[in-house]
Amino acid sequence: MKKSSKKNVPHKSNNKNVLYWAAGALLFAAGFLALGRYWGHQENNYDPYQALKGYESSRHAFMVKSSEVSVNMAQRAVEALQKGKLNEAIEDCKTSIDIFPIDAKPYILLTKIYLMTGQEQKIYDTLTLAGRSYPNFDNIVGIIDDGSLDKIPLDGPQDNVFLANFPENKKMAVSFMFDDGEANVYHALPTFEKYGYRATIPVVAGFVADKSNDPFWGSWAEWRDAASRGFEIANHSMYHRDSVNLHGKDFDIAIDQSKEIIEKNVGHKVTAYVFPHDSYTDEAVSRALRKHEVVRTPEFLRPFYDREVEIVLGGPHVSIETGERLVDIGLKRRLWLVLKCHGVTEKRTMRSFKSITPEFLEAYLSYIHSRSDDIWVDTFSNVFEYMSRRALTKIETKGFTEDTIDFVLHNDRSREKLSVPLTVVIRVQPGESVESANGANGRKFKAWNCAADKICVDVDAYDEKVHVQY
């Protein structure tokens, strides 16, 4: 093998991509000229919040007026786009959503703008936002076309030896989370086990039923059983109060005491805290992180893995096709898809407001399983464990020859053996196949050709020299 090919390749300039986007944005604006004519015009000095004044007294009148004002704002966004004022268009869309979050149009406009301007993370943030309300989610996801997505650069590692995004160098990770701990979720666990998958169930400690067969909440016996079968039970507070309203000692109950109660009853350590209503303050986050390893917020997770995406899966406007589409996008874009679910039931009750049916779950897991070579499905905390290890671990190359390479993994914070091995990827010439990967005293590591020009090695120890022969 030629050693010159092992040199790091510098980052390519993104100028070409900028041109693509500019051209795309022009085409895009032209398209909106036509749409704008169709949707009509709106004067400029319109204050949406002022327009709502006087309607507060009647809930119904306020809803109707909010809807009307929201449509006006979406129209104004279209007009801003026609004039090439992207930022104004984005602000108008956000206001439109803020006032009446149920209409799909402003989400669609935002998604298109972010798609055309290459702001990929904001596309996912828009989907996350849409999941909080009841817009037509299928229509929003449906406008993400592959041609535009492919034009957004996907920065990969440039080194010749690097840590894989996911174990076994898979292309994406999926974590299912069933917030609130409904009893029907316990009955859906065998569907996960059938495919060898595990999910996370964030339970509300104060709501868990004392006895099984509760019509709504899962019981301690059920969650204890789930945990013993490898499912993760996470902390979703004591009484599901919005963290924004908590102060001082409230946090002790909502965060610390609920954790103790769950651990005592389930018999497993709780590592993840999930904020009720996905609502949190800086204080709430720091309180939760005192006794938990991880919280489910993009701000906390993305420094560990910037393609972490949280999307609601469930409700009448998320079809199985949309669920599958999210997986297809995830594979293409190397996402860690955190799917926020609620119940698994045929019944639509007020409480099970964003449930999926057992048939949906079966079909969806089957779809994911058909791509199991590329998709890692695991609990929220297990994926986070890999992500945080990966982010804190450095590879030191100790030397190489024509057909060997020696390297060591270092982690300043930890020297303990890894519970989940980190997958190290080595670039080689196409066709070169791995012979062995040995640690100290001839200890063998799992090594295999994970692509025509790549060798993968699973390493579960720090500070141990790994010698790879190929």
| Of residues 36 and 343, the one with the C-beta less far from Zn ion | 343
| Least distance CB 222 / Zn ion (angstroms) | 18
| Of residues 182 and 385, the one with the C-beta less far from Zn ion | 182
What are the backbone angles phi and psi of residue 375, rounded to the nearest 5°? Answer: -120, 130
| Least distance CB 57 / Zn ion (angstroms) | 31
| Least distance CB 275 / Zn ion (angstroms) | 9
Q: Which residues bind Zn ion (CB under 5 A)?
A: 179-180, 276
| Of residues 259 and 389, the one with the C-beta less far from Zn ion | 259
| Least distance CB 204 / Zn ion (angstroms) | 7
Assign 3-class secondary structure to the chain.
Answer: CCHHHHCCCCCCCCHHHHHHHHHHHHHHHHHHHHHHHHHCCCCCCCCHHHHCCCCCCCHHHHHHHHHHHHHHHHHHHHHHHHCCCHHHHHHHHHHHHHHCCCCCHHHHHHHHHHHHCCCHHHHHHHHHHHCCCCCCHHHHHHCCCHHHHHHCCCCCCCCCEEECCCHHHCCEEEEEEECECEHHHHHHHHHHHHCCCCCEEEECCCCCECCCCCCCECEHHHHHHHHHCCCEEEECCCCCCCHHHCCCHHHHHHHHHHHHHHHHHHCCCCCEECCHHHCCCHHHHHHHHHHCCEECCHHHHCCCCCCEEEEECCCCCCCHHHHHHHHHHHHHHCCEEEEEECCECCCCCCCCCCCECHHHHHHHHHHHHCCCCCEEECCHHHHHHHHHHHHHEEEEEEEECCCEEEEEEEECCCCCCCCCCEEEEEECCCCCCCCEEECHHHCECCEEEEECCEEEEEECCCCCCEEEEC
Q: List the structure tokens of 183.
A: 């009893």
Q: List the structure tokens of 38.
A: 């169709």
Count Cβ neighbours within 10 Å for each residue of 453-465 and write b for 16 or more, e otherwise. Answer: ebbbbbbbbbeee
| Least distance CB 119 / Zn ion (angstroms) | 29
| Of residues 242 and 256, the one with the C-beta less far from Zn ion | 242
| Of residues 111 and 379, the one with the C-beta less far from Zn ion | 379
| Least distance CB 206 / Zn ion (angstroms) | 12
| Least distance CB 283 / Zn ion (angstroms) | 20
| Least distance CB 39 / Zn ion (angstroms) | 37
| Of residues 179 and 458, the one with the C-beta less far from Zn ion | 179
| Of residues 179 and 182, the one with the C-beta less far from Zn ion | 179
Q: Nearest residue by C-beta to Zn ion?
A: 179
| Least distance CB 335 / Zn ion (angstroms) | 23
What are the backbone angles phi and psi of residue 142, rounded to the nearest 5°? Answer: -60, -20
| Least distance CB 128 / Zn ion (angstroms) | 15
CA dihedral 347, 237, 390, 176 (to 10 degrees): 0
| Of residues 113 and 255, the one with the C-beta less far from Zn ion | 255
| Of residues 276 and 323, the one with the C-beta less far from Zn ion | 276
* Alpha carbon distance 94, 92 (integer Å): 5
CB 166 within 8 A of CB 173: yes
| Of residues 169 and 345, the one with the C-beta less far from Zn ion | 345
| Least distance CB 181 / Zn ion (angstroms) | 9
| Of residues 92 and 179, the one with the C-beta less far from Zn ion | 179
Q: List the structure tokens of 428.
A: 């080689």
CB 228 within 8 A of CB 222: no
User: What residue type is 336 in one-letter code?
Assistant: W
| Of residues 218 and 276, the one with the C-beta less far from Zn ion | 276
| Least distance CB 295 / Zn ion (angstroms) | 14
